[in-house]
Chains A and B, each alone.
Chain A
Amino acid sequence: MSKATRAAGPLVGVLLLCAAASAGARAQTVLRWGADPSGGAPYVFTDPADPARYIGYEHEMVEALARAMGRRAEFVPADWETIVSSLQRGEFDVIVNGLEPTADRARQILFSRPYYVFQLQLTVRRDDPRINALADCRGRVVGTLGNTAASRLLAQTGLDYRGYADPVGAYRDLELKRLDAVLMDVPMEMYYARTNPRLRAAGPPTNPGTYVVGLRRGDEALKAQVDAGLEQIIRDGTLERILRKWNLWDERQAELRAQLDAPPQTNAGAQPAGFDLTNATFNWPEALLRLARAATVTVLLAFGAMVLALALGLPLAVGQSRGPRWVQVLSTCYVEFFRGTPVLVQLLFLYFGLPRLGLAMPGWLTALIGLGLNYAAYESQVYRAALEAIPRGQWEAAYSLGMRPVLAFRRIILPQALRIALPPMTNDFVSLFKDTSVAFAISVWELATAYRELANASGEFLLLGLIVSLFYLAMSLPMAHLARRLERRMQRRQQVLHTKPVEAAT
């Protein structure tokens, strides 16, 4: 028996046991709850002291809730942006992740009674005196967590905002001046910004709202159990103890407890005048406007990156095939590096890695340069193939007319090579156009990001998906058509040249 199979033996046994157990009484005794643990402090996150464990106030709360319900809590890590669809697909039974009961979500899932009252906190750089309230943010860029009450508030007030996948990224970009402010739920602000000496709170917390547990539609029985369980841990002080431990207790939480005995008006007591987050509905005209803006960004990104790729690809191609030895080696290294590593990794490196070296570029510029550098490697090979397809005789004819190499290249070789390169380059442009979607990884508001965020906010994955596809097709189909026409023209030309009868006189 090899070492590996010896080790695998017990593991297989454990897995079989687990499978048997889960098939049986699991539905009754286990409460599977989903939350996003990445950058998830203080809700649920990886214990820095023991990375195999999750901790957080909601983690402790669900443990208590499950006990009150007579169940065992089982945590299922999920992705915040897609957490509602994961619930609907049945990956877990409930969402406990600082979920706000917005109207658009109410159409998709059930909500429990509220268990926490949060507020929003605006954060700016300490050395930036311009912003002291949300009203000062007009004309500036505000970062927040995507698909949250905060992002809906920013969208509805018409401010320019950028949705992030986790709070760490948003606060880091604030420090790097890619953002002017960050609006975030107080619990997150407390854990990720308040201790940072380079940041400061701009004004007091505002816009209170509530967190609730999310459940699948039709799970009314489970909702009743969850509501009862929540009532129990609120009444018996378990929740207060947990919140105090995490430094999250304030008088608003006490109001929540008082409401238990008041007539069931749900959140009315927690909402002061002003913006009502729980009534934030999905705004279609606004969404389409944002999609159109994203389409513009996508087009500009694709064009900008292609111009860079074409400008950089030519010297690379020439360097690789005709340069001195060291230039050849460098060009080949460049090409192999950028073709041999994923463009996503390259983008992440440029966006997160370069600021460590003191070079922080805004997201759109990073995406443009990253895609441009990546495609330059491919375009250099298109140029190279096209240059090599030009017969030696063309060089010799140019030389024997007294042309120097640079002139011969510019006037004779390059114009012919460009004709050969045009169809494959057009094809590459179509690919690049679609590849701009990787920019969503660095929060650039292009079509893919827009689709993900808007569809998550509204649940309209099908309809928005169709609209976004139409945006892409409206661009890529004409380009692909153009590429095919250019290719056919090239082929006809070559046929004419190759089938011409060579008249020999012998």
Chain B
Amino acid sequence: MIRATQLEKRMGGAPILRGVSFAVGARTVLGVIGASGSGKTTLLRCLNGLERIDGGAIECGDVRLDAALDEATYRRRVRLLRLKVGTVFQHLHLFPHLSALGNIVEAPVHVLGEPRRAAEERGRELLAAVGLGPAAARYPESLSGGEQQRVAIARALAMRPEVLLFDEPTSALDPRRVADMRALLRRFAADGHTLVVVSHSLGFLAGLADALLYMEAGEVVEQGPAAEIMNAPRDPRTREFLAAVSKD
């Protein structure tokens, strides 16, 4: 599970996040929607500690990251948080000098200290789980965008995170593969993970998210069960956004 309480983030004096709060439990998928510049990506970057929060707190299991912590403690907590939160970036950021398997075992071996042999065995299982079994020895540059994305997912899973963050997971995908990806993410949730998925594709989130959170200008406008938000949004701003997006 992951919980955000009154998150504040400013950049160059301008507020990017303004009192964002939500909570997602295990086996649950939260979809985050909103226009470009609404603060979705910044929210994800705060949740994995790449941005320091200016107010509020993030809790994940027994790790509590509070904006009021002193610098050293904050940094220590960020590292603990990152061991519980895995991220699949929009641009993936695979390590080009390592093979698919090398990408996956790098952190388990060097951060967790797992024996390489065991890590590689598990890495192969993960690759098989995302449907890339034969690609273990291939390098990122020789993989398609969709294949690269599945390596990135396997890389995040290899650290056994409780929470998985996805930033625009459909942007690397051929439209035909979107349904496969949705099924894969549902399976992770069923396995007990907590998922936070930022996407501008309502169609993708429709069959995936249990809950939806609509953001505008760094504020949470509305959140609730996915079906409720999609079919009967209460706030006029949400209605306007959904109407605009569904025209695409």
Contact = CB atoms under 8 A, between A and B. Distances in A.
B96 A407 contact: no
B110 A403 contact: yes
Nearest to A493: B141
Interface string B104-124: 001100111000000000000
Interface of A: 391, 393-394, 396-404, 407, 411-412, 415-416, 419, 493, 496-497, 500-506
A396 B93 contact: yes
Contacts of A393: 89, 91, 93
A503 B112 CA distance: 34
Nearest to B90: A393
Contacts of B248: 506
Contact of B89 (A397, A412, A496, A497): A397
A399 B50 contact: yes
A500 B173 CA distance: 14
Contact of B107 (A394, A403, A415, A416): A403
B178 A411 contact: no
A396 B89 contact: yes
Interface stretch (B1-9, B78-86, B187-195): B78-86
A73 to B, nearest CB: 73
Contact of B175 (A403, A407, A505): A505
Contacts of A502: 145, 172
Interface residues of B, number: 38
Contacts of B96: 416, 497
Given A396-B89, A493-B141, A503-B172, A401 B159 contact: yes
Q: Tell me if B's interface is mostly helix, strand, loop or mixed.
A: loop
B83 to A, nearest CB: 5
A500 B111 contact: no
Given A393-B91, A416-B97, A503 B50 contact: no
B155 interface: yes
B93 A404 contact: no
Given A402-B79, A404-B79, A505-B178, A391 B141 contact: no
Interface string B163-188: 00000001111110010000000000
B146 to A, nearest CB: 7
B238 interface: no
9 residue pairs, one from A and one from B, having the closest CB atoms = A397-B93, A401-B107, A393-B93, A400-B87, A402-B111, A505-B170, A503-B145, A402-B82, A400-B48
A481 to B, nearest CB: 24
Given A397-B87, A411-B106, 11 more contacts: A397-B94, A399-B49, A399-B50, A401-B111, A403-B110, A416-B96, A500-B141, A501-B145, A505-B171, A505-B174, A505-B175
Contacts of B155: 401
B21 interface: no
A269 to B, nearest CB: 79
Contacts of B48: 400
A404 B111 CA distance: 8
Interface in B109-160: 110-112, 141, 144-146, 155-156, 159
Given A503-B174, A505-B174, A400 B145 contact: no
A503 B174 CA distance: 6
A407 to B, nearest CB: 6
